[in-house]
């Protein structure tokens, strides 16, 4: 299986709004999907957006549950928040290796997309699944998670990320959450 090089923060492809994927999906797009899945698993990650592999296309693959049989493929995804609750959680990114940060995200979102077979794909996601969807769709809009931080002190090297736990707990208390995501 083909593994792709992952773009690092600073490359212009990560700052641009990605182009919609033409439908029906071409053989080249199907090959890209397969290579993205292999790259995500090899990295290892739980999600990957096409801009992260130097392709400015509105395409993501996610597998928030690594035990799941198959990853979700979302072509031209759109997200809509459900409710007004936001939760704070620690995120990392394959394009920003060795860093983690505390990011607020909608607790529940609705997603609408097309799957790799060209069929409509819609549903609701909450918790970690919703967080992964929002993180990857942000990539399609040229947004990296540090742009979502509320305070620069919420960013740390992964080897120091244990110190973010107290800040995450404080966010949970300030916002009446039982636990941060």
Instruction: Dump pLDDT digits (tens) for 33-91.
Output: 999 999 999 999 999 999 999 999 999 999 998 887 799 999 999 999 999 999 999 99
DSSP state of 69: S
Any residues with CB less than 8 A from the CB of 170 and at least 6 apart, and which?
Answer: none
CB atoms within 10 A of CB 36: 25
What single-letter DSSP state applies at residue 157?
A: E
- CB contact at 8 A, 11 and 100: no
Please compute the mean of the pLDDT values over residues 132-154 and round it to a whole number.
Answer: 97
CATH number of 12-174: 3.90.45.10
Window from 12-26, 62-76, 123-137 with minimum mean pLDDT: 62-76
Phi/psi of residue 80, nearest 5 degrees: -130, 125
The strand pairing partners of 90, in sequence order, are: 102
Whole-model pTM: value is: 0.92
Which tokens hold the place of 140?
Answer: 């399609």
Active site residue 136: yes
Asked if residue 100 has pLDDT above 50, the reply is: yes
Pick the catalytic residue from 124, 136, 150, 160.
136
Cβ neighbours of residue 13 under 8 Å, at least 6 residues apart?
Answer: 7, 51, 54, 55, 56
In the chain, beta strands by DSSP E: 47-49, 59-62, 72-81, 86-91, 99-106, 108-114, 120-126, 155-157
CA distance 81 to 95: 25
* pLDDT > 60? residue 118: yes
């Amino acid at each position: 299986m083909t593994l792709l090089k992952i773009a690092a923060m600073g490359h212009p492809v990560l700052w641009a709004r990605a182009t919609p994927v033409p439908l029906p999906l071409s053989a080249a797009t199907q090959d890209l999907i397969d290579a993205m899945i292999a790259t995500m698993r090899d990295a290892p990650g739980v999600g990957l957006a096409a801009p992260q592999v130097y392709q400015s296309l509105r395409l993501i693959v996610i597998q928030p549950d690594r035990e799941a049989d198959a990853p979700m493929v979302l072509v031209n995804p759109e997200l809509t928040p459900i409710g007004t609750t936001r939760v704070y959680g620690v995120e990392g990114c394959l394009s920003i290796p060795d860093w983690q940060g505390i990011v607020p995200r909608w607790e529940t979102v609705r997603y609408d997309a097309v799957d790799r077979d060209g069929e409509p794909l819609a549903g609701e996601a909450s918790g970690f699944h919703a967080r992964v969807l929002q993180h990857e769709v942000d990539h399609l809009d040229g947004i990296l998670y540090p742009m979502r931080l509320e305070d620069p002190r919420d960013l740390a090297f992964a080897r120091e990320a244990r110190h973010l736990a107290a800040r995450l707990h404080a966010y949970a208390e300030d916002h009446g959450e039982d636990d941060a995501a």
